[in-house]
Amino acid sequence: MKVEILLATFNSEKYLPELLESLMEQSYTDWKLLVHDDGSHDRTLSILRDFEKKQDRNIKIYISKQQLGPKQSFEYLLENSSADYMMFCDHDDVWLPHKIKESLACIEQLEQKYPDKPALVFSDLVVADEQLKTIHSSFWKYSKVDPDNVYNCYKLLINNPAPGCTFIMNKQVKKLVLPFPEQARMHDWWILLKVAESGVIAYTKKPGLLYRQHSTNKIGAEAIKNNYLLSRVGDLSVTLKRNMESYRMMKCLSTNYSIFKLFYYKLRISFSKLL
């Protein structure tokens, strides 16, 4: 199989039908769906099985005996994928019809320039509310995050510009990033850092999906307001915790990284969000 979509679910009945419908509306149709369900106790599994029967499409569903959480769920899916290309998928988003086709074209073009390299392509997103009404047409502008951060690992350690749901990766990435270490803050962040160090990354400015924001998001888009620095100082314990997590992840990547450079880029990026 050329493309596998790796979908993590947990009590997903509210948004899952819209996500599955958007997958069926993709202009590129030669894909397989792998699902890891993290112990849902609602209608998630019956929705998936009904979808499989109705669409006559093979779905591989892995059911967790104990709750893993999103990072380990995607790790499990990546371990069990055998495709040439893999795309992470969140249960509450809606993919735009061009997402697979254009992501695939972009990564194949990248591989022509850099054959045999771990390669990853990501895109911008449309930030949407619970009813899928547009909050902002660009996640990058909404969160004041620079996609070029992926070309500087210090900047990338501070700000991740690419949620995993925007990824397409070749199979060389799988060999590079597994297993995920305990120090990895999230699966997508760790993968970007590893590929930034040892592979090649490109991005497309055209959004590939509607990034739904709702009360139960594990990770979401954060609007950057004028009181950004004050809010970080005001919630000092959270700020310190995040910085320590980034530091531990940095040391897990390599002991060659400097804490002083990390702090320098942290200040630069924090002040840039005020502009």
pLDDT tens digits, the chain, 275 residues: what are they?
799 999 999 999 999 999 999 999 999 999 999 999 999 999 999 999 999 998 888 799 999 888 999 999 999 999 999 999 999 999 999 999 999 999 999 999 999 999 999 999 999 999 999 999 999 999 999 999 999 999 999 999 988 999 999 999 999 999 999 999 999 999 999 999 999 999 999 999 999 999 999 866 555 566 655 544 444 455 667 777 877 888 888 889 988 888 888 888 888 887 776 66
Task: Please give the domain boundaries of the chain with CATH numbers for all domains.
Answer: 3-224 (3.90.550.10)
pTM for this predicted structure: 0.89
Q: In what order do the strands lie in the sheet with 200-204?
A: 59-63, 31-37, 3-9, 85-90, 168-170, 119-123, 200-204
